[in-house]
């Protein structure tokens, strides 16, 4: 996964009326995205543990709402693989009826995140954490589809954790027949081979149509969507709040927060990828995108859908098909709705093994196996540990714990690296007499005054570097000290207290400390905290050479005094 964060140049404005050419381009792109979304929406709903129509309604209503109100011109929203482990956990613990409540609560949380301008925080999500939990999600989805792909029967559907479900599947492998695995393998072969033969039609659609038709024509006995969930309805759904249950608010708060955070991250990453693919100057508005996803998750439960987020693969396919505006997202939703109403009964004949094959390919794609392999081989060891730990926690514990651990561990490693960087360094000449980062003129002035201690402060003068800063400036407190502040662009309270202590210590021992080249954003902080008053205006200079000139040369000893001292030493 290549993460490339782009700074927004401008907020998306209300679009002008599209030209016929733009309308046609976005219609084609929306139809392509809708055709891709149809089998995926069914497969993802089945993976979560709800009827397939719930996934279709999610693509229709959440997709349209996010396209209209979101901050990205290109995002295609609907059910996604990233949310499958979270939502399947909710279904196992609270039942399918809890998903609309989770979606509603997640929508409200996303609206609050957008109002509080959390959209820009995704830029600070560590890349190893994103790759790690995405790979963990992919493994969870892949192993979760083994039962349907192989036709395993007799397993316990109430098992929640990855290792329990996997061991349960292994214990029941003796129930595997020949027909269902063969259907799955044929589906998998079509999914792998079709993109190499003809990329115009999406491989999932080709596999679903071809295998479903063959299974029906040949009378193959294999579990289908209808045998598990019944036929899909053909009527337009009516909005309803019948699912609302105040008694579940507390129990569902944690999964709702997790869905909101993961959905927000996934949507914003999709928007970043879309901006890079489109190559246009107007970028997405991250806070508006969060609000749009919030509205989408408020609308989806009303029409029987599940929580949704932007789908990177469908967004990329839409852009490659010619999408230029949010109209493509609207046309995508209309396409899914039309296909659902027209082909609903036929969808019931889709073999479950074929849907499992579609999800296996989806899991492989989102796992970014080459990227994970490259990071494991070439990334710093600490980052590899964070990545693998995130994968492990995602699989065996909980996705929210994995994200929390990944961010915490990455922050600790960052602080560790920052602490290892000296907060202050002595300005000493190298073998040629030069001093790093200063002009030759200033280097000459510094070399001519060995009676003065010269230091340059660097980086952030903060809680992580205050102890190192104080240690570096230890020395003879009676000697004059010039501290160059040119490279300090931030100082927090801990840094201010440390600097204040150093100044007071020097002053108590009769030494003089001078600050030079203070940055404009730092000087008001020093003034408000009283550092400038403590120093006095005579000890603050814009240029270091002026500070040097303000310090008198030490008095050379008189020759007579030196001779007398030598005689006394001889007599002693």
Last residue of a domain, one of 347, 370, 393: 370
Task: Determine the pLDDT at residue 15.
Answer: 53
Residue 375 lies in a domain: no
442-461 mean pLDDT: 85
Look at the chain and report how many structural domains it folds into. Answer: 2
Residue 191 lies in a domain: yes
Last residue of a domain, one of 329, 351, 370: 370
Task: Determine the pLDDT at residue 382.
Answer: 85
Which of the four pLDDT bands, split at 50, 70 and 90, describes residue 564?
very low
170 and 38 inside one domain: yes
3-state secondary structure of 460: strand
Residue 454 lies in a domain: yes
- Find the CATH number of the domain harbouring 455: 3.30.750.24
3-state secondary structure of 158: coil
List the structure tokens of 456. 């340059």
44 and 163 inside one domain: yes
Judge whether 519 and 488 are in contact, CB under 8 Å. yes
366 and 433 inside one domain: no
> Does residue 566 surpass a pLDDT of 80?
no
48-57 mean pLDDT: 91
Question: Which long-range contacts does 184-187 make (Cβ < 8 Å, 24+ apart)?
Answer: 184/148, 184/149, 184/150, 184/151, 184/353, 184/354, 184/356, 184/357, 186/211, 186/214, 187/211, 187/351, 187/353, 187/354, 187/357, 187/358
Residue 562 lies in a domain: no
List the structure tokens of 92. 């196992």
457 and 519 inside one domain: yes
State the DSSP code for 77. Answer: E
> Does residue 108 surpass a pLDDT of 90?
yes
> Does residue 310 surpass a pLDDT of 80?
yes
List the structure tokens of 516. 């030079």
Cα-Cα-Cα-Cα dihedral sign, residues 401, 402, 406, 409? positive
188 and 102 inside one domain: yes
> Does residue 475 surpass a pLDDT of 80?
no
207 and 316 inside one domain: yes
Q: Of 221, 472, 493, 163, which Cα lies nearest the Cα of 352?
A: 221
Tens of pLDDT, residues 21-48: 889 999 999 998 888 888 889 889 988 9
432 and 365 inside one domain: no
Which of the four pLDDT bands, split at 50, 70 and 90, describes residue 347?
confident
Tens of pLDDT, residues 393-416: 888 887 777 878 888 888 888 777
DSSP string, 485-518: EEEEEEE-HHHHHHHHHHHHHHHHTT--EEEES-
- Tell me the C-alpha distance between 465 and 459, whole Å: 9
Tens of pLDDT, residues 219-256: 998 998 888 877 777 778 889 999 999 989 999 999 99
List the structure tokens of 239. 């909005």
Tens of pLDDT, residues 155-164: 887 777 788 8
- Comparing 400 with 150, which gets the higher pLDDT? 150
46 and 167 inside one domain: yes
Task: Determine the pLDDT at residue 420.
Answer: 67
Q: Of 15, 8, 3, 1, which Cα lies nearest the Cα of 323?
A: 15
216 and 312 inside one domain: yes
- pLDDT over 90, % of the chain: 28
227 and 350 inside one domain: yes
149-158 mean pLDDT: 85
> Does residue 515 surpass a pLDDT of 90?
yes
Most confident of 126-140, 295-309, 547-561: 295-309
> Does residue 130 surpass a pLDDT of 50?
yes
SS3 of 516-537: ECCCCCCHHHHHHHCHHHHHCH
Residue 403 lies in a domain: no
171 and 39 inside one domain: yes
Task: Determine the pLDDT at residue 114.
Answer: 92
**How many residues belong to the chain?**
572
Residue 16 lies in a domain: no
Judge whether 359 and 43 are in contact, CB under 8 Å. yes
Ramachandran class of 459: left when φ > 0, alpha when ψ lies in -120 to 50, beta otherwise: left
Mean pLDDT score across all residues of the chain: 84
356 and 443 inside one domain: no
Compute, in degrees rounded to 10, the torsion defined by CA atoms 55, 331, 296, 101.
Answer: -20
Tens of pLDDT, residues 361-378: 888 887 878 888 888 888
- Tell me the C-alpha distance between 360 and 207, whole Å: 13
Residue 212 lies in a domain: yes
Domain that holds residue 487: 424-549
Cα-Cα-Cα-Cα dihedral sign, residues 361, 366, 370, 372? negative
pTM (2 d.p.) = 0.71
> Does residue 284 surpass a pLDDT of 50?
yes
Residue 245 lies in a domain: no
Of 99-103, 120-124, 556-560, least confident by mean pLDDT is 556-560
Which of the four pLDDT bands, split at 50, 70 and 90, describes residue 123?
low
Which of the four pLDDT bands, split at 50, 70 and 90, describes residue 16?
low
Contacts of 195 (CB under 8 A, 6+ apart): 203
> Does residue 132 surpass a pLDDT of 90?
no
182-194 mean pLDDT: 93
> Does residue 499 surpass a pLDDT of 60?
yes
Q: What angle do CA 383, 389, 390 make, to 5 degrees?
A: 90
């Amino acid at each position: 996964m290549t993460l490339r964060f782009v700074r927004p140049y401008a907020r998306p404005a209300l679009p002008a009326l599209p030209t016929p050419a733009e309308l046609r381009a976005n219609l084609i792109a929306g139809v392509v995205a809708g055709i891709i979304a149809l089998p995926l929406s069914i497969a993802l709903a089945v993976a979560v543990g709800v009827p397939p129509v719930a996934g279709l309604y999610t693509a229709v209503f959440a997709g349209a709402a996010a396209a209209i109100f979101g901050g990205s011109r290109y995002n295609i929203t609907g059910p996604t693989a990233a949310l499958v482990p979270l939502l399947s956990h909710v279904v196992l613990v609270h039942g399918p009826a809890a998903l609309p409540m989770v979606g509603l609560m997640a929508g409200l949380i996303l609206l609050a995140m957008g109002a509080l301008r959390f959209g820009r925080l995704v830029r600070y999500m560590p890349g190893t954490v994103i790759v790690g939990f995405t790979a963990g999600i992919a493994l969870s989805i892949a192993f979760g589809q083994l039962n349907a792909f192989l036709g395993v029967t007799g397993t316990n559907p109430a098992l929640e954790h990855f290792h329990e479900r996997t061991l349960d599947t292994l214990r029941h492998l003796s129930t595997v027949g020949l027909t269902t695995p063969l259907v799955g393998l044929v589906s998998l072969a079509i999914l792998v081979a079709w993109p190499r033969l003809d990329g115009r039609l999406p491989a999932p659609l080709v596999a679903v149509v071809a295998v479903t038709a063959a299974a029906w024509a040949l009378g193959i006995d294999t579990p289908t969507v209808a045998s598990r969930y019944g036929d899909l309805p053909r009527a337009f759904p009516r909005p309803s709040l019948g699912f609302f249950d105040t008694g579940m608010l507390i129990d569902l708060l944690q999964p709702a927060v997790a869905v909101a955070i993961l959905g927000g991250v996934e949507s914003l990453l999709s928007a970043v990828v879309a901006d890079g693919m489109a190559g246009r100057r107007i970028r997405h508005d991250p806070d508006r995108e969060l609000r749009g996803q919030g509205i989408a998750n408020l609308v989806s439960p009303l029409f029987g859908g599940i929580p949704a987020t932007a789908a990177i693969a469908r967004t990329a396919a839409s852009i490659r098909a010619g999408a230029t505006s949010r109209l493509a997202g609207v046309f995508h939703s209309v396409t899914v709705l039309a296909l659902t109403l027209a082909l609903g009964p036929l969808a019931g004949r889709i073999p479950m093994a074929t849907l499992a094959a579609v999800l296996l390919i989806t899991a492989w794609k989102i796992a970014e196996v080459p990227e994970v392999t490259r990071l494991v081989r070439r990334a710093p060891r600490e980052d590899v540990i964070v990545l693998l730990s995130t994968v492990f926690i995602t699989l065996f514990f909980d996705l929210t714990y994995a994200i929390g651990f990944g961010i915490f561990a990455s922050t600790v490693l960052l602080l560790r690296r920052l602490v290892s960087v000296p907060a202050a360094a002595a300005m000493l000449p190298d073998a040629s007499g030069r001093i790093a980062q200063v002009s030759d003129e200033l280097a000459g002035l510094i070399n001519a005054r060995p009676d003065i201690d010269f230091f340059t402060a660097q980086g952030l003068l903060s809680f992580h570097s205050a102890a190192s800063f104080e240690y570096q400036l230890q020395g003879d407190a009676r000697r004059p000290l010039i501290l160059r502040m040119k490279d300090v662009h931030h100082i927090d309270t801990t840094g201010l207290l440390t600097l204040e202590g150093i100044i007071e210590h020097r002053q108590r021992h009769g030494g003089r400390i001078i600050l030079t080249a203070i940055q404009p954003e730092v000087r008001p902080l020093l003034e408000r905290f009283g550092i400038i008053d403590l120093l006095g205006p005579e000890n603050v200079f814009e240029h270091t050479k002026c500070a040097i000139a303000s310090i008198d040369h030490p008095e050379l000893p008189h020759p007579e005094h030196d001779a007398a001292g030598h005689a006394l030493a001889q007599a002693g």
